[in-house]
Amino acid sequence: MGLTDLISRVGKIFEADSNAALDKAEDPAMMTRQAVKDLKDKLQKALDAEVHLKALVIDKRTNAEKNKAAADDWGHKAEQILDKVDHKQISDADGDRLAKEALAQQATAQQAADHYAKEAADQQAILDGMDKKVKELHDMIDQAQNESEELAAREESAEATTSISKELSSIGGPDSTKDLLDRMRHKTEESEHMAQAYTELDNANKSTKDEINALLGPSSAAGSDDALAALKAKRAAKTDTNA
């Protein structure tokens, strides 16, 4: 194997290890939360840009309206000048000169008004496109937020399931549990048999007196005394008779 091949193989090994480490380090819930945060940051920048563009459109429209008003005013002045010429208030030459100047000012103002109006329309088209993208970004954030919450719940459920499975595997499977129960049942039966054996042995070692007492109960001793006293009285009476 050449040096180039060796370096290539080592590079692939490091790349594989790095990818495996990255896959292991990626937390779905954390990654989606970060994605939502990034989208919100982009949304804020887009909103800031939209505000500036909106202000620019307003400025262009305002200038267009001002220049349109100026153009209309200069046109009205040109007509007033010609009215004065008609009423012989000023000479024809002065009237023509002043009217031409007013019309020139009107043309300049109208040209500026048209220019600002076109710029305002162009900027409004850009603003409309930006507004559409901002709405799409809003929808994307809502979707990402919902998916982030869902992934967080699924991740929590998966971790709980894994924890339970580990606990169960640490104490053995169903077969191990069955074996444990069988051993405990057998041990309990042995204890019961041992107690029964001791009881039977104790009964076998009892004296005859104990057997009689056990049979007749606690009053049997008093009954024996009475029987003995009666027997003695009977014997005494018999003796007196014989005498």
Query: Which CATH number does the domain housing residue 162 bear?
Result: 1.10.287
pLDDT digits (tens, 9 = 90+) for 153-211: 887 887 788 877 777 666 555 566 677 778 888 888 888 888 887 777 766 666 665 66
Are 154 and 213 part of one and the same domain? no
Are 231 and 160 part of one and the same domain? no
CB 57 within 8 A of CB 127: yes
Give the pLDDT mean for 133-148: 86
Are 163 and 213 part of one and the same domain? no
Are 9 and 88 part of one and the same domain? yes
d(CA 101, CA 96): 9
Are 71 and 149 part of one and the same domain? yes
- Output the DSSP codes for 175-215: HHHHHHHHHHHHHHHHHHHHHHHHHHHHHHT--HHHHHHHH
Show the tokens assigned to 60: 């262009």
Higher pLDDT, 152 or 81: 81
Q: What is the pTM of this model?
A: 0.50
Are 111 and 24 part of one and the same domain? yes
Are 193 and 212 part of one and the same domain? no
User: Domain residues for 197?
Assistant: 180-205
pLDDT number for residue 14: 47
Q: Would 175 be classed as within a structural domain?
A: no
User: 208 burial class (0-12, 13-18, 19+ CB within 10 angstroms)?
Assistant: exposed
